[in-house]
Amino acid sequence: MIALAAIIIPIILIPDAVVNGVGALYRFMTSDLAWLFLWIGVLCFVVAVLLIVTKWGDIRLGGKDAVAHYSTFTWISMMLCSSLAAGILIFGMCEWMYYVTGTPFGIEPGSAQAYEYASAYGMFHWGFSAWAFYLLPAVAIGYLYWNKRKYTVRISVLCEDVLTGQKAWHKPVKWIIDLLFVLCYFVAVMTTVGIGTPVLGELLSDLTGIPNSFGLKIGVIVFFCIFFTLSTSKSIAKGMGKISDFNIWLAIAFFIYVLLVGDTSFILNNITMAVGTNIREFVRMSFNSDAVMQTGFVQNWTIFYWAWYVALAAMCGTWVARTSYGRTLREITVANTVLAPLACWITFGILGNYGMSLELFHGVNLSGVIGEVGNNGVTLLVLKQMPFSKLCIIAFFVLIFFNLAASCTANGTSLSMYTSKNLKGDEEPSPVFKSFWCFLFLVLPVGILLLEHNVEGLNVLQTIQSMITVSALPVFFGLFWLFYAFGKQIKKDMASGCLLDAIADEKQYKWGKKYSDPTKEQKEA
């Protein structure tokens, strides 16, 4: 809380200095460290592929006899709704508009090629590589938590094997790791809420006729936080599971409706072409640092997204690990890096191409006005073009509301788990403790609104992007120790033969010459 106060107080007292300081750090990270984020994205992609196609994917969280806690549909729904689902809806509808005018690869703005890449690049930013960022921490945390019975998801405890002994620097390093993870994750989650709640305010204002004032925006945030606090106070199955299932079915129905009332042939054809562009240009997109052209596209979008995913990686990985008991690493990888991106591609393909068809064939200028009215304004503008627009606005409002609620429910639970002591197996954190964290989720969205209210001409989206990107840098410190501890444990389990206890059919496995055919004594050890 002291650390949070150190962030919020300057926002209130010296907002201009905060904006300038965050902006300077943002420029350093997106320009000077662009290569680092790009290589991390490639590494995550490679690991995901290996877990799908190699024998490592057969390792089961909880051991070879572990039985999954949730049905496959509910499990995947919780995974989808907990990881930036509201952002998927908002950017799925709006992101292509930014790319038409601010193009990648030096493409002429507004050209046919600009529209083609605008459809494809959103899919890339929310595709296979993007979701793979959560996979590595999920695998490391899940294995140490369920298979090695660590009984906590706190990174400092999971790293005990590499931070043991009487060295004086170990204790402060553990404390710093936990503080950085909680603080950076908190900032990343709150900027997600800061993106979603203004859209809720815009839609609510149109539905009710109440002016979209500063007071209405505050009211939306307060009501929203009360709602997901009540959801979080329930158990995971009762709170998160039911919300996620409802949300997925509503989203499917809404997407089918948009597909049918829009230019169906254009939407399906452009989705097909965008998928092809992603396959053809995947390597180029993955390594594009924009070092020569310096158009700013990569810094403003690709690096921003990769930094966002890094900032969320540990806690989203915690949620995936916590809900994936009884699942193999291959199942987790397929759900997290294939099915989840597929859902994103459907969202971007249907919502984005519906808006693009309005601009290309029906004279609705969206990419030209998004810089003035923002995500909120163009979202409402697109929804108003749909038949039965009021019902569409209500449906989209409900989708964003419950997606944000599901995301915050998962995040509040993850933070509560992380900061609880001696939490064992299936035991959940105290409802009071979860409610405490959810209440604190009010803080940064209100702080962002205060910045918007007090700093004239502030680009809110750019400020949010800057805050997310800056929050990612300290997370590297903690992730390094987590992966080091995980690698050391895996090596130890391979040598002793204990790794085979996590595989159902262990006879077919020989983990290299050095580790093949462990003796009976080694297995018992």
**pLDDT value at residue 438:** 74
Find tokens 């690698």 and name the residue.
487
Q: Where are the domains of the chain?
A: 2-496
pLDDT, tens digit, for every residue of 472-482? 778 887 888 88
Backbone angles phi, psi at 60, to 5 degrees: -110, 130
What pLDDT does residue 36 have?
Answer: 92
Does residue 311 contact residue 187 with C-beta atoms inside 8 Å?
yes
| 26 in Cβ contact with 307 (< 8 Å) | no
Read off the pLDDT of residues 236-260 as tens digits, 9 standing for 90 and up.
445 555 666 777 888 889 999 999 9
How far CA 15 is from CA of 21, 363, 366, 444, 460, in Å, comes to 10, 40, 31, 13, 13
pLDDT for the residue numbered 259 = 96
57 CB-near residues (< 8 Å, 6+ apart): 51, 328, 329, 330, 333
Residues of the chain with pLDDT below 50 are 236-237, 507, 510-518, 522
| pLDDT for 348 | 93
pLDDT score for 249:
85
pLDDT recorded at residue 352: 95
Quick one: fold of 2-496? Answer: Amino acid/polyamine transporter I (1.20.1740)
CA–CA distance, 202 with 478 (Å, rounded to integer): 38
Alpha-carbon span 467 to 20, nearest angstrom: 11
Give the pLDDT confidence of 130-180 residue by residue, as tens digits. 999 999 999 999 998 888 877 677 888 888 777 766 677 777 888 888 888
Segment holding 448, helix H or strand E: helix 443-454
Helices (H), 233-324: 236, 242-261, 264-287, 297, 303-323
pLDDT of the residue at 181:
79
